[in-house]
Amino acid sequence: MTTLTAAPRWRGTDFSTQVLVLTQRSLRTLVSDPRMIVFSILQPLIMLTLFSQIFASIANTPGFPQGVAYIDFLMPAILVNTAMQSALQAGVGLVTDMKNGVLARFRSLPIRSGSVLVARSLSDLVRTASQLLLMLVFAVVVFGFSPAGGVAGIAAALALALAVGWGLGWIFLAIAAWLRNAELMQTVGFLAMFPLMFASSAYVPVSGLPGWLQAIANVNPLTFAVDAARSLALAQPVTGVVGALATSAVLAAAGWFAAVRGFNRPL
């Protein structure tokens, strides 16, 4: 007499497959909306154009690095700042998925919550990389961006900006997972970003800032990231790269932990 054995229960695909499929889904959503692509590229290009023209005269001031064109000084900072702004959009995108019912459907499937967050992080990393590459092409063709570090220095600065943006992205994913409100998410993000951007060495040397802003800029983590990216691009003695990468790793780990806990709360 033969005995029937129950078929093994399907427990879903492995974590890496889930991340791959969900990342592809996020990228398809991005590509399917041309307006999102256009505006995500247009905003940093406008910022680059305005700042490169408004602050160009700073290159003639005594405290500015000798022999460095302002566009070569500015562009590494624009890379880091754009990566930071793209990190905010990762959080906004997560809130949007929470509100439109996509994540509610995912919860009914054998999908790990961590894979959803990692996929969101990776898709936004790809989007940020595309933005930064297009900005670099624009800066080279239109403004003559040609730092002393050459292609290798530019590539290193780009990689550092992506690492910083990826680490910050996890913080914004964590904030989004707990706030679950796009408008509030954007308000909190901009309140955090603008002091970081302007109270730093991004647009002018720290020595050119008022005394009280110098004190803030000297402890601003964005200053360290910008200075490290700038040193790589300009082929100057590199300082702060290890610190910037370590900080990004710590932010990513803390953001991952907080994001998973917030994401697993009932919708």
pTM: 0.86
Nearest partner of 122 among 34, 16, 261, 243, judged by Cα: 16
The reported pLDDT for the residue numbered 188 is 81
Q: Which residues neighbour 25 within 8 Å (Cβ) at sequence distance 6 or greater? A: 119
**Do the domain assignments include residue 25?**
no
pLDDT of 9 reads: 54
Question: Is 126 within the bounds of a domain?
Answer: yes
pLDDT of residue 75: 93
63 in any annotated domain: no
In a domain, 248, yes or no: yes
Asked if residue 58 is part of any domain, the answer here is no
Which ranges of the chain have pLDDT less than 50?
Answer: 1, 4, 6-7, 10
- Specify if 18 maps to a domain: no
Asked whether residue 242 is domain-assigned, the answer is: yes
Which pLDDT belongs to residue 5?
A: 52
Quickly count: other Cβ atoms within 10 Å of residue 131's Cβ. Answer: 22
Residue 89 lies in a domain: yes
User: What is the count of structural domains for the chain?
Assistant: 1
The predicted pLDDT at position 1 comes to 46
From its phi and psi, is residue 67 left (phi > 0), alpha (psi between -120 and 50) or beta?
A: left
Supply the range of the domain harboring residue 156: 35-46+69-264
